[in-house]
Chains A and B, each alone.
Chain A
Amino acid sequence: MLIDVHAHFLHERTPRADWAERNASRLRAGERVGITIHVASILGSWGHTSPTYFPSPADCTYGNDRMLALQREHPERIRGYVTVNPNYTEHALAEMGRCLDAGMIGLKLAASRRADDPLLDPLCALARDRGVPVLHHIWQHRRRDYAGQEASDAVELGRLAARHRSVQFILAHIGGGGDWLGTLPVIHGLPNILVDLSGSGVDGGMLEACLEAVGVERLLWGCDLTIETGWAKLRYLEHLLKPADLEQVRWGNAARIFPPGAFPTH
């Protein structure tokens, strides 16, 4: 079994005319790699009618509807994260309830509000009550603000995780941009933060550093925007890890933090 904990899909109300091709390409490549389940999110309209990282409530709802539709169309392959904008607390909580009731299995927080902001607390409390993990977009070792997003780094996610010790947080795409060397020491002592290995970065030494920092039990496999980099890391890990440890990264750790029954029985 192989679970991609960080996938995305597009829909017809995004700026991408090739949205259907890209969705099909992800599923096709997933078949080739052997991905059992893509755990995916849709960030609103991906910039079409509100910014990707600051999606309007209406765009969150539409994107989540499309994500639910994909989950229904591909029950053997796709699970969804509910995407919300924490600046709209009432809508975010309602959307979480609606989408988790409909079968989504996690919460996706991108970059609409800094991770350590109190506005995220009620969302994390609900994630705790519902027993779902939180995948949080991260700019590794952010040194400044970047246009288009209120990105967080491991320090800020760490503050949130320290306030919500019973919630499992997934630190997004360690290879997805920024200085991952700045991230790893920060989360060493925070056992409820797991590292998602996705991202286009395939730096030599990165996987060894992740293992050293948090151990095999806190690594999750994923791809994000580049499936070939996910496959490459998986191939590298096949040489680096014992078979039992590799299984933990492939799916075991994900099965542990997502709700029971989220994935096919094995």
Chain B
Amino acid sequence: MRTDVNCFLGSYPYRRVPGTSPDAVLAAMDRAGIDEAWVSHLPGIFWRDPAAGNAWLLETTSRHKRLKPVLAVHPELAGWEDVVLDAAEAGAPAVRCDPTYYGIAPSGAAMRALVGACGRAGIPLILAVRLEDGRQRHPHDHAAELPAAAVRSLIRADAAARIIITHADRPFVEEVHFGSTPEEAARTWWDICWIWGPPEDHLEILLQTIGPDRFVFGTGQPLRIPENAVAKLDLLELAPEDRAAIEAGNAAAACNAAGSR
């Protein structure tokens, strides 16, 4: 079983990206041996009301059982609490928020309220550090990357909160992990899509220093080719149980710990 917690459907506003339709993503999943993907609505991240893409996402994923909806929540727009409850009710594996793209403070009062609501609803919150390499972004793409300080602040905001961070590199992971208590760190998971393999061996080092329980399989597809996340696991000497945990078990644990699904 391999679960991709970091997958998108729909077009990207800053360049042409092939393979963004549900059928194309499913074909890419087949190619990369991915059984299930948690999918976010990519265009919605850039909309003034990101939740406006949720209906399409729910309808689409209802027709493709391997795709699980990650609903978008903007915690400064009226009715956002209902989105969190609707997601939990719909059995969504997580909700997502992209505060720097929405133009809101990444660890402000609204975000802290969102974390609390997710904790109460028993659903993990997904936050992305970035979507693209900062050196290639469109000249008009000015959204800041998610600061590590915001993640440390948010995980402290509610003892029931569970947060999955995508697109983080090794320094980001270490800063948050070792800047948190063990209890806080145990409520944080990291997708592997942006962590380097050999010869720098960032992922191998993190698995030694932090442990395999904190990492989940994520690709960032179709913005990134999914083969990358598989290749970096194939380059590790992992015990089968650790690989299984990274590929699916830890994501399931994040959901179960949060009480969803």
Contacts and interface: CB of A to CB of B under 8 A. Distances in A.
A, B bound? yes
Interface of A: 21-23, 25-26, 28-29, 32-33, 139-141, 143, 177-181, 200-205, 207-208, 225-229, 231-233, 235-236, 239
Given A232-B227, A235-B227, A29 B221 contact: no
B15 A229 contact: no
B199 A229 contact: no
User: Which 9 A/B pairs are nearest by Cβ-Cβ distance?
Assistant: A228-B197, A29-B198, A232-B228, A232-B227, A26-B199, A228-B232, A25-B199, A231-B231, A177-B135
B136 interface: yes
Nearest to B194: A200
Nearest to B132: A203
Interface residues of B, number: 29
A237 to B, nearest CB: 10
Contacts of A235: 227, 230-231
Contacts of B124: none
Contact of A32 (B224, B227, B235): B235
Given A177-B135, A181-B15, A204 B221 contact: yes
A232 B197 CA distance: 12
Contacts of A140: 136
Contact of B223 (A141, A180, A204): A204
A148 to B, nearest CB: 14
B17 interface: yes
30 contacts: A22-B199, A25-B199, A25-B200, A26-B198, A28-B198, A29-B199, A32-B234, A139-B135, A140-B136, A141-B136, A178-B135, A178-B136, A180-B136, A200-B133, A200-B196, A203-B17, A203-B132, A203-B136, A204-B18, A207-B225, A225-B196, A226-B200, A228-B197, A231-B227, A231-B234, A232-B228, A232-B230, A235-B230, A235-B231, A236-B227
A189 B17 CA distance: 24
Given A29-B235, A178-B135, A203 B224 contact: yes
Contacts of A208: 18
A229 B198 contact: no
A250 to B, nearest CB: 16
B199 A203 contact: no
A172 B63 CA distance: 43
B16 interface: yes
B22 interface: no
Nearest to A204: B222
B43 to A, nearest CB: 15
A233 B225 contact: yes
Contact of B228 (A139, A179, A229): A229
B65 interface: no
A22 B19 contact: no
Given A232-B231, A233-B225, A236-B227, A201 B197 contact: no
B140 interface: no
B228 A202 contact: yes
B202 to A, nearest CB: 9
A29 B232 CA distance: 10
B201 interface: yes
B201 A25 contact: yes
B117 to A, nearest CB: 33
B31 interface: yes
Contacts of A202: 224-225, 227-228
Nearest to A22: B199
A135 B171 CA distance: 30
B134 to A, nearest CB: 9
A68 B31 CA distance: 41
Contact of A228 (B17, B139, B198): B198
Among B132, B198, B223, B225, the one with the most A-chain Cβ atoms within 10 Å of its Cβ is: B198
Contact of A204 (B136, B139, B197, B224): B224
Among A140, A179, A232, the one with the most B-chain Cβ atoms within 10 Å of its Cβ is: A232
Contacts of B15: 181, 205
A239 to B, nearest CB: 6
A231 B135 contact: no
A204 B19 contact: yes
Interface string B215-242: 0000001111101101110110000000
A234 to B, nearest CB: 8
Contacts of A25: 198-201
